């Protein structure tokens, strides 16, 4: 089984598709017989990715697109329409923030414009035709567990992914109301994944605890088959049960009026540790 939008001869659009999860998803959509439009920032990586896909027999086209520029996303829509009927969009383009609370405005704006506004542009430009069309469709967003549990440190990134989560949830509800889930939205939440971001930190070989991008996409496809919205991926270090316990604790900060991010708070860190060690 596959999601009905993943159909041979139709078009899948993947932003940030030159490497990592985006590239793995483009390969998978292409292997299902879809025509794939891969967008990313201009450069050798995009050209190499498209050549690799074509060598595998995939009908792939590349287009340099900065998702923070609405005009460039509009150009991508026009390019995609020229390839056929778009039924799948993966809004995957993103950047790490590298920004603490008092990071400069350039860091904050760059992070939010890519991770949040990029997704808004993609949604507002690609989704109307999918809603109006008669066939099935799917739009996916690459989120992050950091947008749920908000670990201290990379504040700008956490905020951008938390906002993306809220946005994608609203999109999903709107689509259910408008189309009865004929067109669906999904939030991909990767675990520890060996991608270009990892390499940028100087890690050249996949850590034992990390999943590959292909494993993440395998999990994504399984979740799509089941119609799941939250595609919460484990990895080789953290299983699903651990993820769920951490998320429940984070929600408990609101329900029990604990200090925000109490998991790392000096007065609550031991309680969190005991909670994680318990069977509850």
Q: How far is residue 273 from each of residues 191, 194, 268, measured CA to CA in Å?
A: 21, 27, 9
Q: How far is residue 98 from each of residues 19, 139, 168, 198, 201, measured CA to CA in Å?
A: 20, 27, 23, 13, 11
Which residue in 141, 157, 219, 230 is the catalytic one? Answer: 157
* Cross-sheet strand order for the sheet of 230-232: 60-64, 35-40, 11-15, 86-91, 137-142, 183-189, 230-232
230-232 and 183-189: which strand pairing?
parallel
**Neighbouring residues of 171: CB distance < 8 A, sequence distance ≥ 6:** 123, 127, 139, 141, 185
Cβ neighbours, 10 Å, residue 105: 8
Can you read off the two tokens belonging to residue 169? 């949830």
Catalytic status, residue 275: no
What would the DSSP string read from start to end of 194-232?
Answer: -SHHHHHTT--S--TTPBPHHHHHHHHHHHHHHT-SEEE
Nearest to 263 by CA among 243, 246, 244: 246
Helix (H), strand (E) counts: the chain: 11, 7
CA dihedral 20, 47, 221, 199 (to 10 degrees): 0
Distance between CA atoms of residues 121 and 127, nearest Å: 10
Can you read off the two tokens belonging to residue 165? 């989560």
Point out the residues that are catalytic: 157
């Amino acid at each position: 089984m596959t999601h009905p939008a993943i159909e041979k001869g139709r078009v899948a659009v993947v932003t940030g598709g030159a490497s990592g999860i985006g590239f793995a998803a483009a390969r998978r959509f292409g292997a299902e017989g879809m025509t794939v439009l891969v967008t990313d920032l201009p450069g050798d990586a995009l050209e190499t990715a498209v050549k690799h896909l074509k060598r595998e027999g995939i009908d792939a086209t590349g287009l340099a697109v900065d998702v923070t520029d609405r005009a460039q996303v509009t150009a991508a829509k026009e390019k995609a329409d020229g390839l056929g009927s778009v039924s799948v969009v993966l809004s995957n383009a993103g950047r790490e923030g590298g920004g603490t609370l008092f990071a400069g405005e350039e860091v904050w704006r760059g992070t939010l414009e890519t991770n949040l506004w990029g997704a808004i542009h993609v949604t507002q430009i690609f989704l109307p035709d999918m809603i109006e069309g008669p066939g099935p469709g799917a739009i996916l967003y690459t989120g992050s567990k950091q947008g749920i549990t908000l670990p201290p440190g990379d504040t700008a990134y956490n905020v951008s992914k938390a906002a993306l989560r809220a946005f994608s949830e609203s999109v999903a509800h709107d689509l259910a109301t408008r189309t009865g889930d004929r067109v669906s939205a999904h939030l991909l939440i990767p675990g520890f994944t060996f991608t270009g971001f990892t390499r940028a930190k100087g890690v050249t070989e996949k850590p034992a605890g990390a999943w590959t991008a292909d494993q993440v996409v395998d999990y994504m496809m399984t979740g799509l088959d089941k119609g799941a919205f939250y595609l919460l991926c484990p990895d080789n270090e953290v299983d699903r049960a651990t993820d769920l316990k951490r998320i429940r604790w984070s929600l408990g900060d609101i329900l029990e009026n604990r200090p925000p991010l109490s998991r790392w708070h000096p007065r609550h860190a031991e309680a969190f540790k005991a909670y994680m060690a318990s069977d509850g």
